Amino acid sequence: MFMFRLIVYLYDLRHEKKPAPAAQRLSYFFLLPNVCFPLFPVVDYKTFVGTYYDQDEHRIYQRGAQWMFRGLTHLVLYRLIYYYVTLPPNEIVNIGSLGRFLVSNYLLYLRISGQFHIIVGMLCLFGFDLPRTNNRYLLASSFSDYWRRINIYWKDFMVKVFYFPAYFRLRGLAPTPRLLLATAYVFLATWLLHSYQWFWIRGSFPVAGPDIVFWGALGVLVAANSLREMKGGRGSLAGDRACSMREAFFLALRVLGMFVAVCVLWSLWTSRTLSDWISLWTLPEEGLWEETGTALGLLALLLAAGTLARYAVGRGWRLGISGDSLSFARSAGVTTAALVLILVVGHRSIYSHFGATAADAIYSLRKPRLSRGDVALLQRGYYENLLGADRMSSQLWEVYMKEPADWQGGPGGDVYRAGRLPRPRAEAPRGVHGEAISRAYQ
């Protein structure tokens, strides 16, 4: 509630021209979705106050319903990928499994984007016409474009509180060093604040090599793209304007290259150590060239499909349904129909007739659990004492956040519940790890 929001509030308080009512100030800190979502977007205070019923209330409500539906689809896709597509690193045996690991690991961000869409959509239902939190980040065509599309609230927070103050304080320097120093400051603050966020949740402040390399590399790449744009570099052809087949090809090539690059960087960020990340790329030489040819062929097909899709959009084709481009009545009808469809398909009396495989898959998507990889990581952390608290997936966060407050460490490193349970026998899985493992299997 207060970790980042208080920083934004105090910053805007210094520049506030017209004080907001006391009730609105309190509501900024005690937002209703915060009860269910501890991981929360950094809502800007000025935007929060300024967008309260700033247009027709029904359109605000409808936009909120759309974003909540979009967040729901992201969460369903997340569980589908998390349960059935992700791989533990020790199962990477060829280029195919490596590609599967990289892509599925990055797409787990759907859980964050889904939750953020639901949060902001819920706030829209109370009249706060807040902007979107993520904007088609899988279609980013450069690192600066990616920085502007993913977790927009965090980007706005960093630009407002860190980038602009640093940039204007360096007004005595030339534009290029000003931009480079301000960008470096932003990504240093981003790394430290992400670690501080983890310290707030877990009580440990991680300083790990993958974090440093990830944020450092991302900062350098974003700064390089920003310099190119400042010097009049070519844009990303965003939007629906018409373009030639050649322009569509190069845009699709940049988008595909960005997706591959971010997948690689994301695998670095989620690795426990740099040596663990390097070991991902150690593949057997047998059949390597044939697998490389297959992977390049798949990338070529994706490039061709992206080129045709961008060219068709430029010619006026609509390849999807965007709530912003529909009338109010049609938008409400599409959202309602989609929600009813999900409700019907997710009911046991309906999906039980789809066959055993489909019914089991739909049932599993309704229940939160750990994937095979996270169960293996949990076991490894118990039996080998190698589970770093700063290198876990968001699912494992939840398991460890439910640790009772009165669990204590005893002699020999065992864990028991003070005054309630006897110490477990040495041969049995003990403590919070053992209980978490049994819950994960259940």
Please state, in angstroms and rounded to a whole number, the distance separating the CA atoms of residues 387 and 383: 9
Q: What percent of the chain has pLDDT over 90?
A: 39
How do residues 345-389 score in pLDDT, each as one tens digit?
888 888 888 888 888 888 888 878 877 777 766 655 444 433 344
Res. 152: pLDDT tops 80? yes
Q: CA 196 to CA 203: how far, in whole Å?
A: 9
Nearest to 42 by CA among 130, 135, 145, 164: 130
What local confidence, expressed as pLDDT, does residue 389 receive?
41
pLDDT reading at 424 higher than 50:
no
What pLDDT digit, counting tens, does each position of 50-61 carry?
999 988 899 999
Query: In 3-state terms, what secondary structure has residue 170?
Result: coil
H helices, E strands: number in the chain: 20, 2
Packed helices 95-107 and 245-269: angle between N→C axes, nearest 10 degrees: 90
C-alpha distances (whole Å) from 328 to each of 63, 142, 332, 338, 350 are 10, 34, 6, 16, 31
**What digits encode the pLDDT tens for the residues 222-272?**
999 988 888 775 554 555 566 788 888 999 999 999 999 999 999 998 888
**Above pLDDT 70, what percent of the chain?**
79
**Of 101, 110, 102, 118, nearest to 138 (Cα)?**
110
CB-based contact 240:314 (threshold 8 Å): yes
CB atoms within 10 A of CB 336: 12
pLDDT score, position 412: 38
Per the prediction, the chain carries an average pLDDT of 81
| pLDDT at residue 92, rounded to an integer | 86
DSSP letter string over 333-357? HHHHHHHHHHHHHTSHHHHTTS-HH
> What tokens appear for 238 in the block?
């965003």
Highest mean pLDDT out of 135-139, 205-209, 356-360:
135-139
Q: Which residues of 253-263 are buried (b: 16+ CB within 10 A; e: fewer)?
A: ebbbebbeebb
- For the entire predicted model, the pTM comes to 0.80
- If DSSP codes are grouped into helix, strand and coil, which group holds residue 84? helix
Structure tokens at 313: 């959009």
What local confidence, expressed as pLDDT, does residue 329 receive? 82
Confidence band, pLDDT 50/70/90 cuts, at residue 88: confident
pLDDT recorded at residue 433: 44
Higher per-residue confidence, 441 vs 180: 180
Per-residue pLDDT at 117 = 95
Six-digit token string for 144:
């600066």
End-to-end CA distance of the chain: 33
pLDDT recorded at residue 432: 42
pLDDT at 418 over 70: no
pLDDT bucket at 318, cuts 50 / 70 / 90: low
